[in-house]
């Protein structure tokens, strides 16, 4: 369903697809009868701009959408930042330890589980990751000072 | 070799101890995936895909397919017991299944759903076995225009029939196609939109994208909404249906199986639509339509049979043409490609052991699921007592490790995170993720076949209209995109309140 809440995403999409079409003009469009590398991106950009503009127009006349859930978005933002933390910390402390620390943060700070349950579930999940990927599949995870 | 000979070859592969074990593992994991909220079959397969690296391809594919059809069985349990479908294809089951549970007939609902799923699933596999080889023979004659039309058909129908706003689904598909252009040009090899990032030279890896869009994003949505599962109050007595239940349901099972398979074959339609159409059909032809929504057993048998038969139907375009029709079959296609296999017409001739082994394993898997689901329903239901946060920790841990393990690269964790955030935003704003993932998979084929077609035709688009197969396929695709909106327009009452 289209609502007035789609105005901002519609505008962002028009800009994004416009940028795609514009940057695709730097690629070779084609020669003779043979379409080149820029052919598809140019037309996808144009199609995207048209479809997003239609969304914008429809959203202007649509009923207002439901109000956003800022607390929910905040929890998701923290969870996403935590994953970024895993990607940054893994080369230093090791992937398994980084995942364990992240899951503890998620269950304890975001989901507010009791400390024993949070420790058990994050530690259990990290142990499964270690056993399945590192021991069973021999995936060479980045290792930290503790050796895993 | 005839069909029976090929099937015998398939069974000789599927019943080896190792493959039986993987079929069982797939069925078991699939059932759990179907039960657990916030993880659907596409996410389940994407998350488990890295775990299958190093296994023989046929064993891995048997397990991954088992997750797909197993999830349809699992979704029933939550629909009946707590009125919360584990995945979208079980929504229609809640209408009467939960009512039956409130009347103390949860066991009968689960029993008839398991038997209906088994019968319709087996019927669907028979139809798949008979339909795929002739379709593949036909597809051998396809050239670039037909492949372009097929890929376009998949995208247009998923946009039109996927539910929600067709415009948003179309934008999602265009975004997926745009993302598919990242990396080397498929014909000339020149770099596009890589911005000097080495990891993008071969394009966006499918697996981290799927893990982000389906695994991480689903967890994010449930974190935002703080999922709390309702307590189970139903009893499990009477899992074996009575004779009266069987008599009342057998027609619904048969019709559900036929409708489910036919809809499953259509790209973009899938198990969810099949279950709703089948439920609607039963209510329409019933002598007592007033019983529907109040605990009619046919209202459980029909959608459950349909969603299982639809999974077999969805395998037809995937295996015979190499064209996935849904997000789940797109992830399965990615699994084939990761193993160096290309589903499509040549799969039957070049790798008959894969094709027929997979089909035979589906017969075996359906039998396993019947025996797994009837006695073990209370055991599976105990999974629902786990707090969602514990499940989320497991999903996120496996998501991050799985994304890393594809190329042993931290970059893939960043990609999974980016698509997790994008998937969350899409869900909040009502943009479906399935067209994007399907477009990402079909993008290279679509672009290559379009450019080859235009080169053949000296730049004329008429080639798509003058070749009968491509013209028909594109016409069906356009109807799929615009048909639902036109139908709504035609059915809208006019000013005098008369429906034209």
Give residue-wise pLDDT tens across range B321-333.
888 878 888 889 8
Within its chain, how far is the Cα of B154 from the centroid?
A: 13
Mean pLDDT (whole number) for B464-473: 91
Give residue-wise pLDDT tens across range B255-292.
999 999 998 887 766 788 888 889 999 988 888 888 88
Which residue in chain B has the smallest CA separation from A28? B190
3-class DSSP state for residue A27? coil
pLDDT at B441: 87
Phi-psi category of residue B293: left, alpha or beta, with phi > 0 → left and psi -120 to 50 → alpha: left
Q: Give the angle subtended at the CA of B157 by the CAs of B154 and B158, to the nearest 5°.
A: 80
Sequence-distant (6+) residues with CB within 8 A of B308 are B69, B72, B73, B116, B117, B118, B120, B121, B124, B257, B260, B271, B366
- Asked whether the beta carbons of residue A17 and residue B424 sit closer than 8 angstroms, the reply is no
* DSSP category for residue B265: H
Residues B93 and B304 sit within 8 Å (Cβ to Cβ) = yes
Residue B312 half-sphere exposure toward CB, CA atoms < 13 A: 33
| Encoded tokens for B432 | 């479906």
Mean pLDDT (whole number) for B240-244: 84
Helices (H) and strands (E) in chain A, counts: 5, 2
Instruction: Round to whole Å and give the CA distance between B391 and B394.
Output: 5
pLDDT at B475 over 70: yes
Nearest-CB residue to B410 (from A37, A90, A117): A90
pLDDT at A95: 95
pLDDT at B410: 95
| Encoded tokens for B47 | 């998350």
Give residue-wise pLDDT tens across range B83-131.
777 677 888 888 898 888 888 888 888 889 989 988 998 999 999 999 9
pLDDT at B306 over 90: yes
Sequence-distant (6+) residues with CB within 8 A of B193 are A23, A41, B181, B182, B183, B200
- At residue A34, φ and ψ (nearest 5 deg) are -105, 110
DSSP letter string, B139-176: HTT--HHHHHHHHHHHHHHHHHHSSS-HHHHHHHHHHH
pLDDT at B498: 40
Instruction: Round to whole Å and give the CA distance between B291 and B155.
Output: 38
- Asked whether the beta carbons of residue A99 and residue B397 sit closer than 8 angstroms, the reply is yes
pLDDT at B107: 85
Burial class from Cβ neighbours inside 10 Å (0-12, 13-18, 19+) for residue B470 reads: buried
pLDDT per residue, tens digit, chain A (148 aa), is 888 889 999 999 999 999 999 999 999 988 777 889 999 999 999 999 999 999 999 999 888 877 778 889 999 999 999 999 999 999 999 999 999 999 999 999 998 899 999 999 999 999 999 998 888 888 899 988 877 7
On chain A, the residues whose CB falls within 8 A of the CB of B429 are: 5-6, 9
Least Cα separation, residue A8 to chain B (angstroms): 10
Q: Over the Cα atoms of chain A, what is R_g?
A: 23
Give residue-wise pLDDT tens across range B381-397.
777 777 888 888 988 99
Give residue-wise pLDDT tens across range B368-381.
988 887 778 777 87
Least Cα separation, residue A145 to chain B (angstroms): 18
Q: How confident is the model at residue B53 (pLDDT cuts 50, 70, 90)?
A: confident
Interface pTM, i.e. ipTM: 0.94
* DSSP category for residue B193: S
From chain B residues 207-246, the ones with a CB under 8 A of any chain A CB are: 216, 219-220, 223-226
Phi-psi category of residue B143: left, alpha or beta, with phi > 0 → left and psi -120 to 50 → alpha: beta
- Asked whether the beta carbons of residue A133 and residue B50 sit closer than 8 angstroms, the reply is yes
What is the average pLDDT score of chain B? 86
Give residue-wise pLDDT tens across range B149-164.
988 888 887 776 666 7
Mean pLDDT (whole number) for B221-245: 73
Closest-CA residue to B420 (of B218, B248, B254): B218
Within its chain, how far is the Cα of A145 from the centroid?
A: 30
pLDDT at B229: 62
Within its chain, how far is the Cα of B237 from the centroid?
A: 32
Give residue-wise pLDDT tens across range B425-443.
999 999 988 889 889 988 9
Instruction: Round to whole Å and give the CA distance between B364 and B12.
Output: 12
- At residue B191, φ and ψ (nearest 5 deg) are -80, 140
- Asked whether the beta carbons of residue A41 and residue B393 sit closer than 8 angstroms, the reply is no
pLDDT at B190 over 50: yes
From chain B residues 143-172, the ones with a CB under 8 A of any chain A CB are: 164-165, 167-168, 170-171
pLDDT at B481: 77
Give residue-wise pLDDT tens across range A108-121.
999 889 999 999 99
Sequence-distant (6+) residues with CB within 8 A of B376 are none
pLDDT at B231 over 60: no
pLDDT at B352 over 60: yes
Sequence-distant (6+) residues with CB within 8 A of B218 are B38, B39, B40, B43, B395, B423
On chain B, the residues whose CB falls within 8 A of the CB of A19 are: none
Q: How confident is the model at residue B227 (pLDDT cuts 50, 70, 90)?
A: low
pLDDT at B166: 84
Q: Over the Cα atoms of chain B, what is R_g?
A: 22
Sequence-distant (6+) residues with CB within 8 A of A18 are A45, A49
Q: How confident is the model at residue B299 (pLDDT cuts 50, 70, 90)?
A: very high
Q: Any CB–CB contact under 8 A between B175 and chain A?
A: yes
pLDDT at B473 over 80: yes
| Encoded tokens for A138 | 């021999």
């Amino acid at each position: 369903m289209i609502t007035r809440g789609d105005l901002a995403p519609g505008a962002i999409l028009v800009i994004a697809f416009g940028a795609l079409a514009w940057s695709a003009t730097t690629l070779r469009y084609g020669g003779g009868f043979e379409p080149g590398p820029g052919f598809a991106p140019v037309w996808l950009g144009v199609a995207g701009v048209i479809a997003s503009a239609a969304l914008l127009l429809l959203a202007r006349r649509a009923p207002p959408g439901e109000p956003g859930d800022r607390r929910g978005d905040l929890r998701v933002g923290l969870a996403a930042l935590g994953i970024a933390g895993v990607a940054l910390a893994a080369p230093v402390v090791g992937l398994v330890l980084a995942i364990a620390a992240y899951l503890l943060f998620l269950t304890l700070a975001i989901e507010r589980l009791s400390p024993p349950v949070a420790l058990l579930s994050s530690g259990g999940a990290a142990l499964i990751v270690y056993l399945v990927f590192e021991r069973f599949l021999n995936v060479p995870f980045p290792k930290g000072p503790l050796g895993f | 070799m005839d069909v029976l000979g090929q099937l015998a070859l398939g069974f000789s592969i599927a019943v080896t101890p190792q493959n039986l074990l993987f079929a069982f593992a797939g069925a078991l994991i699939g059932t759990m995936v179907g039960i657990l909220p916030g993880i659907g079959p596409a996410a389940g397969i994407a998350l488990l895909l890295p775990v299958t690296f190093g296994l023989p391809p046929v064993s891995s594919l048997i397990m991954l397919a088992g997750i797909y059809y197993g999830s349809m069985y699992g979704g029933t349990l939550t629909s009946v017991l707590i009125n919360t479908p584990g995945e979208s294809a079980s929504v229609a089951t809640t209408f009467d299944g939960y009512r039956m549970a409130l009347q103390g007939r949860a066991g009968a609902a689960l029993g008839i759903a398991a038997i209906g799923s088994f019968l319709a699933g087996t019927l669907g596999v028979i139809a798949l076995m008979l339909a795929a080889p002739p379709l593949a023979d036909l597809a051998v004659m396809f050239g670039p225009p037909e492949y372009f039309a097929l890929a376009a058909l998949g995208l247009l129908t998923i946009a039109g029939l996927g539910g929600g706003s067709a415009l948003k689904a179309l934008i999602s598909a265009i975004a997926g196609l745009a993302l598919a252009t990242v990396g080397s040009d498929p014909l000339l090899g020149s770099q596009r939109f890589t911005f000097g990032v080495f990891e993008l030279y071969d394009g966006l890896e499918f697996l981290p994208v799927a893990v982000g869009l389906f695994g991480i994003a689903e967890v994010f949505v449930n974190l935002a909404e703080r999922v709390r599962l309702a307590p189970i109050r139903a009893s499990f007595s009477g899992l074996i249906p009575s004779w009266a239940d069987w008599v009342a349901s057998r027609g619904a099972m048969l019709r559900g199986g036929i409708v489910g398979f036919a809809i499953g074959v259509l790209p973009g339609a899938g198990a969810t639509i099949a279950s709703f159409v089948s439920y609607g059909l039963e209510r329409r032809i019933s002598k007592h339509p007033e019983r529907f929504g109040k605990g009619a057993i046919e209202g459980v048998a029909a959608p459950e049979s349909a969603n299982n038969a639809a999974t077999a139907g969805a395998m037809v375009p995937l295996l015979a043409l190499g064209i996935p029709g849904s997000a789940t079959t797109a992830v399965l296609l990615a699994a084939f490609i990761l193993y160096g296999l290309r589903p499509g017409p040549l799969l039957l001739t070049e790798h008959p052991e894969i094709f027929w082994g997979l089909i035979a394993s589906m017969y075996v898997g359906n039998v396993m699921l019947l025996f797994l689901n009837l006695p073990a329903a209370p055991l599976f239901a105990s999974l629902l007592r786990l707090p969602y946060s514990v499940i989320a920790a497991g999903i996120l841990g496996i998501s991050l490790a799985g994304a890393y393990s594809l190329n042993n690269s931290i970059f893939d964790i960043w990609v999974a995170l980016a698509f997790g955030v994008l998937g969350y935003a899409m869900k909040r704003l009502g943009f479906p993720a399935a067209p994007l993932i399907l477009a990402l998979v079909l993008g290279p084929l679509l672009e290559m076949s379009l450019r080859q077609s235009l080169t053949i035709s000296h730049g004329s688009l008429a080639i798509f209209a003058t070749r009968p197969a491509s013209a028909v396929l594109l016409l069906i695709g356009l109807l799929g995109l615009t048909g639902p909106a036109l139908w709504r327009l035609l059915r809208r009452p006019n000013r005098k309140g008369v429906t034209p």
